[in-house]
A and B are shown apart, each in its own frame.
Chain A
């Protein structure tokens, strides 16, 4: 199991491709630093930077690229066969890859959010944002790992979820917020350290339970899906 995790991590970070994970967090920290340097009050820019950029773009997009990359790239170039033919339970393969994906996304999004939170308000606020980002990274990664097994175009489907479901519908239809990971993340951060910057729309119980449902449900579905995975070649 650790070998699978090692190979996955090397496939993720061993190539130049990993560099595209850098600009997003750096921009988040840079914007927060500029605002701090001009001594602007945190509630004036906090929502745009922390919610608009951090929770709505950095966290989901990083999780999407990493989460669909750990399995999707191996499905694409056919090297998944080499792992599937080893005498390993499929459960271990999924769990190892999921752990790498969630860990990588959590670090990449929680660290810049912590820094931005410190610059906006206080260390406690930063810690709240970081904890929420870690929860979000686990939920998003579970969803996107599952997507990369269900469809051949996981990134586009993931973008539909991020852009259309959370971005467009979440703004107009309040009902869709119950199924939006972004809202859970905001709620959790707001409950740990209440702040005017964050505006939570769902209850804490809903947020925690639904995050757990996303993590467990999507992982179980992914294990089940990999159990009967066929590598039939199709091009569309």
Chain B
């Protein structure tokens, strides 16, 4: 009756079904992270903050679409919409980062995760993917509403809809850039502490305190410093990348890139990569710092 390797067979039934491997664990963590981002599967209290932000964004998008269909004038383009909503995105990241990262540290669930066939890289990848998706949805869905509003009131038939879509696609790409950069920074800050309160405060502080540096650099008496001023803050960095990629010399953000456009692109990529590498390094050890 008793097999080799079993010290006591106390008669429990064995599990003989299929064993899902790493892939399923990552997928489960991703889906759980995405649901937790918007408070699904949680109490009503957990839904207040994410849905407050999402509600404001959707409301603004509906107003913009309505104004455009009634009066025909465009207040914000798809790209400008992201720039104008920057403060709300910061707040959303400050909600999500601690929710996804600090919660696991604070409630000591990390040792449980890592006792599965899940590696540190899988954990980081699943959380990052969940947060990028959530932030992108926060921006992309209002942009879709603006698109629908414009598409249904166009005068040129299918051609007008297609032209509008060509405006929307870069807007979605721009939203993805926001999501990638803000998620990587937010997750890195949140992974350093198990207290959600401190993580949220830290994320907001990081994003807000970099803005005045941009202003200071842009008044310094050096044209190189002025052109590269936007590099100092994530918000102006993204605006700079968008400006460089769309080849617009000037935009509403008031940045003057000069010939330093490629540097903005390089820094954005390096910043995202550096944050993810630091996250991986941080999860080589489970304990809170």
A interface list, Cβ under 8 A from B: 17, 20, 23-24, 27, 31, 34-35, 38, 40, 44-45, 48-49, 52-53, 56-58, 61, 64-65, 68-69, 72-73, 76, 152-156, 159-160, 162-164, 167-168, 236
Contact = CB atoms under 8 A, between A and B. Distances in A.
Contacts of B205: 20, 24, 57, 61
Contacts of B46: 236
B212 A61 contact: no
A58 B219 CA distance: 22
A62 to B, nearest CB: 9
Q: Which 9 A-B pairs have the closest CB atoms?
A: A48-B215, A155-B197, A53-B212, A236-B45, A236-B43, A57-B208, A48-B212, A52-B212, A65-B201
Contacts, number: 98
Contact of B216 (A34, A69, A152, A162): A34
Interface string B8-49: 000000000000000000000000000000000011011001
A142 B219 CA distance: 37
Interface residues of B, number: 31
Interface string B63-96: 0000000000000000000000001101100110
Contact of A38 (B45, B202, B208, B220): B220
Contacts of B213: 27, 31
Contact of B201 (A40, A153, A159, A167): A159
A73 B197 CA distance: 9
B104 to A, nearest CB: 14
B196 interface: yes
Nearest to B213: A31
11 contacts: A20-B202, A40-B219, A45-B216, A52-B212, A69-B197, A73-B195, A156-B49, A159-B204, A160-B52, A162-B204, A164-B87
Contacts of A65: 198, 201
B36 to A, nearest CB: 12
Interface in B164-214: 195-198, 200-202, 204-205, 208-209, 211-213
A163 B198 contact: no
Nearest to B90: A163
A148 to B, nearest CB: 9
A168 B88 contact: yes
A24 B205 CA distance: 8
B45 A159 contact: no
Given A57-B208, A164-B88, 14 more contacts: A20-B202, A24-B205, A34-B220, A35-B219, A38-B220, A48-B216, A52-B211, A52-B215, A53-B211, A72-B197, A73-B195, A153-B49, A155-B198, A160-B49
B5 interface: no
A159 B216 contact: no
B197 A163 contact: no
A44 B94 contact: no
Contact of B212 (A49, A64, A153): A49
Nearest to B42: A236
A35 B202 CA distance: 26
Nearest to A49: B212
Contact of B209 (A27, A64, A156): A27
Contacts of A38: 220-221
Contacts of B87: 163-164, 167-168
A153 B219 CA distance: 39
The residue in A23, A34, A45, A69 that gathers the most chain B C-beta atoms within 10 A of its C-beta is A45
A97 to B, nearest CB: 16
A32 to B, nearest CB: 9
A24 B49 CA distance: 26
A155 B107 CA distance: 19
A176 to B, nearest CB: 14
Contacts of A156: 49, 94-95, 200
B234 to A, nearest CB: 15
A24 B211 CA distance: 13
